[in-house]
Amino acid sequence: MGNDADTLMQADFVPVPEGGVTTPLGFRAGGLHCGLKKNGGHDLGAIVCDVPAAAAAVYTTNQFQAAPLAVTRDSLAREGRLRAVLVNSGNANACTGRQGEEDARAMRAGMASALDAPDHQVAVASTGVIGVPLNMAAIRSGIDRLKDRLTADAQGAEAFSKAIMTTDTVRKTACVRLDLDGRTVTVAGAAKGAGMIHPNMATMLGFITTDAAIAPPLLQELLRDTADETFNMITVDGDTSTNDMVLAMASGLAGNAELTRGHPGFAAFAAAFRHVCEELAKAIARDGEGATKLIEVCVAGASSDASARVIARTVAGSNLVKSAVFGADANWGRIIAAVGRAGQPVNPETVDVRLGDIVTLERSRPVPFDEEAALAYLNGDTVRICIDLHLGSGRATAWGCDLTYDYVRINADYRT
């Protein structure tokens, strides 16, 4: 899933292809079927840390927020440290009123009690059907069995990854290693999500673990900044779930000197952290419902990074661009039309558009190109759209996927 830009940055860290959320020191994980999913698949999972890990989270901006988000916020507000996160799939515990809040609190209390930890050291997350009360008996007995099955090996990480899946077709994990103060530090993550939202059975969830020593406030800043450039730059269908959440936990057991912005290795750690988030984000976009291709939209020359971000997301989210990519149609007209409606500064006379290496528009004038070469490029599994506005130095990258018959099939037939 790497690209050229990644390769340049990988001098500072090394991918660990077989790694997962249990690879960083101090973490165990697991997952099992507790009874929420009708198909018998894993539907309850947890990541547990041997010590209270520095923790941080970012949440959906949707105004309807599911009950578990409020409970997790409450936990993190205490001391910013977590022993565990407990996640169920199959039921979003959203639009469930007061009962839903009580159930989310009971999930937290159940896990805390199993670990002999205070409630506020446990976070919870849910994904699945909206508007249906949680089956708490299933969750309670699930926690009882889960607490003895948590392992620090690859099996534990894999079981957790499975337990958070809904319409996902592949598990999504990433792991990298780097050297800090002569110690090996590992950053890993697991994520789920196949559409930005399917109120009946999905959501985007991301979980990052690391054994780096870093205090909660700096971890929170890093997560927020990184999420803005990774998880917040993917779009499958422009919708935003009521349950989206990305949570990071840092055990500190790698033994590096605590990270600060002044630490000589901070940039390398931030790059490794960003790489993990970006790999997970791209994996989610590529696994978009019905998708056959990853679309990467790179905007340069915008009036600011923020402006580039809006434009990149608008292009990546355009149904017409997404349909054209599905049809392997080098339709630059749809690309500039999306640029033009993004509401950002643009000089209509100075726009370049490339599809991979194929120049289709230069200074807003069509450039004749080899249609067969374009077709071959657009039939690949990753399509890169590069836009240069020649206006300023703002840059951003967004990721999306093509719009296919299967997206319509999945979302038309979903609930019934």
Catalytic residue among 23, 166, 173, 203: 203
370 lies in the binding site for its own copies (CB under 8 A): no
Q: Which is nearer to its own copies, 334 or 354 (CB)?
A: 334
Structure tokens that stand for 209 in this block: 């673990």
303 lies in the binding site for its own copies (CB under 8 A): no
- Name beta bridge partners: 295: 383, 400
Site track for its own copies across 53-72, x = CB under 8 A: --------xxxxx-------
Q: Indicate the helix (H) or strand (E) that contains 209.
A: strand 205-210
Q: Identify the DSSP state of 258.
A: P
38 lies in the binding site for its own copies (CB under 8 A): no
User: Applying CB under 8 A, which part among 19-27, 174-182, 293-301, 334-342 lies near its own copies?
Assistant: 334-342
Q: Which is nearer to its own copies, 157 or 324 (CB)?
A: 324
Phi (first) and psi of residue 347, to 5 degrees: -100, 110
143 lies in the binding site for its own copies (CB under 8 A): no
Rounded CA separation 144/148 (Å)? 8
Query: Is 282 within 8 Å of 1 (Cβ atoms)?
Result: yes
338 lies in the binding site for its own copies (CB under 8 A): yes
Of residues 41, 118, 238, 255, which one binds its own copies by CB under 8 A?
238
- Per CB under 8 A, contacts with its own copies among 390-409 are 403-405, 407-409
| Helix, strand, coil content of the chain in percent (nearest 5) | 35, 25, 40
Residue 322 CB, nearest approach to its own copies (Å)? 9
198 lies in the binding site for its own copies (CB under 8 A): yes
Tokens 């409450």 belong to 74
User: Applying CB under 8 A, which part among 2-10, 147-155, 223-231, 324-332 lies near its own copies?
Assistant: 324-332
Residue 370 CB, nearest approach to its own copies (Å)? 14
Tell me whether strands 358-362 and 352-355 are parallel, antiparallel or unpaired.
antiparallel
Query: Is 172 within 8 Å of 280 (Cβ atoms)?
Result: yes
Site track for its own copies across 245-274, x = CB under 8 A: ------------------------------
First to last CA, the chain: 35
Query: Collapsing DSSP states into helix, strand and coil, what is residue 237?
Result: coil
Of residues 237, 287, 352, 388, which one binds its own copies by CB under 8 A?
237
Q: Which is nearer to its own copies, 78 or 341 (CB)?
A: 341
Rounded alpha-carbon distances, angstroms, from residue 308 to 178, 301, 396: 30, 8, 5
Rounded CA separation 229/27 (Å)? 26
R_g of the chain computed on alpha carbons: 22
365 lies in the binding site for its own copies (CB under 8 A): yes
96 is catalytic: no
350 lies in the binding site for its own copies (CB under 8 A): no
Work out the number of other CB atoms within 10 angstroms of the CB of residue 190: 31
Q: Which residues bind its own copies (CB under 8 A)?
A: 61-65, 94-95, 97, 130-131, 195, 197-200, 237-242, 317-320, 323-324, 326-334, 336-341, 346, 348, 361, 364-366, 375, 403-405, 407-409, 411-416
